Amino acid sequence: MNRLKEEIKNKKPFVIGMVHCAPLSGYEDSPGESIVKEKFINDLEALISGGIDAIMIENNYDIPHYEKAKESTIPQLTDLCLEARKLTKKPLGICVLWNDYERALLIAKKADLDFVRIPVFVDKVKTDYGIYSAKADECIKFRKKINAQNILIFADVQVKHAEHLIKRPLTEAVTEAIKKQADGIIITGKWTGDPPTLSDVQEAKMTSGETILILGSGVTPENSRGYNVNGFIVGTYFKEESERGKDFHNVFPWKSKIMADRVKKFMGKIR
């Protein structure tokens, strides 16, 4: 069994903390390379010192999102991932929004990351940035082409922040994702901070069987015990309290810091 798969299955719940990069090069709101890097390292170190199990890096504040990331952002995003690998031996992953599986896998291979997140793997969705279709077959083929089969694919099923254009039961989407070789399934609520319904999680759990199942939104110490899953992805909950951002796509502005004490308290409570 893959080392990370084994670790996730043996450490319940396995918690993946999010590092949301500040706007990267080529975006009007980018604060510059030095500030982007400083913010990135501070958030990364807060997660590590707080006792997180793994970390996922995401270009969350590169707005507007595109299906393929802007070329100007890739060197900087790659450098940040390389820096992260220098700073920790913990499992690391990446999500390149909206659905850039090629860049995610290439960066993961170069920076020795352990997993990638693919938001649209078997679904077809309408977002504020366009309509995106399933990329499972292309993703698996590309992973093999670059000889990166050791990098796990965590696939969202009926992902948040989107209108789903394939109307079908959750169990059908989960079944297809597993058939298409997803190494893990991510279930979310409708929006950042919204937990999935208990019925959806139970349905996904029954369908997923031995495949890793991870909750991708709305997890708190108070509700975490109600879910029988392998792990959680947590981002916004770890950030400092502040006013909500003017842009409704993000609950907090990019300047909001991850607080190590919030991470530590969360990890202590759910353990």
Q: What is the pLDDT of residues 64-106, one digit of tens each?
A: 999 999 999 999 999 999 999 999 999 999 999 999 999 999 9
* Predicted local distance difference test score (pLDDT) of residue 190: 78
Strands (E), 43-157: 54-58, 92-95, 115-118, 125-127, 130-132, 152-156
Q: Which residue has the tokens 């949301």?
A: 20
Determine the average pLDDT of the residues in 185-205.
Answer: 87
CA distances from residue 239 to 17, 28, 92, 226, 256 in whole angstroms, order as listed? 11, 23, 19, 23, 6
What would the two tokens of residue 76 be? Answer: 């900087």
Q: What is the mean pLDDT of residues 253-269?
A: 95
Helix (H) or strand (E) holding 214: strand 212-215
pLDDT of residue 1: 66
Average predicted confidence (pLDDT) for the chain: 93
**Confidence bin at 189 (pLDDT 50/70/90):** confident
pTM, two decimals, is 0.95
Domains of the chain: 3-270 (3.20.20.70)
Tally the residues of the chain: 271
Are 69 and 100 in contact, with CB atoms under 8 Å apart? yes
Band (pLDDT 50/70/90 cuts) for residue 242 is: low
Give Cα 135 distance to the centre of its chain: 17
Buried b vs exposed e over 60-84: b needs ≥16 C-beta within 10 Å? bbbbebebebbeebbebbbbbbeeb
Please list, in sequence order, all residues whose beta carbon lies within 8 angstroms of the beta carbon of residue 25, skipping any fewer than 6 positions away.
33, 72, 73, 75, 76
* Banded model confidence at residue 250, pLDDT cuts 50, 70, 90: low
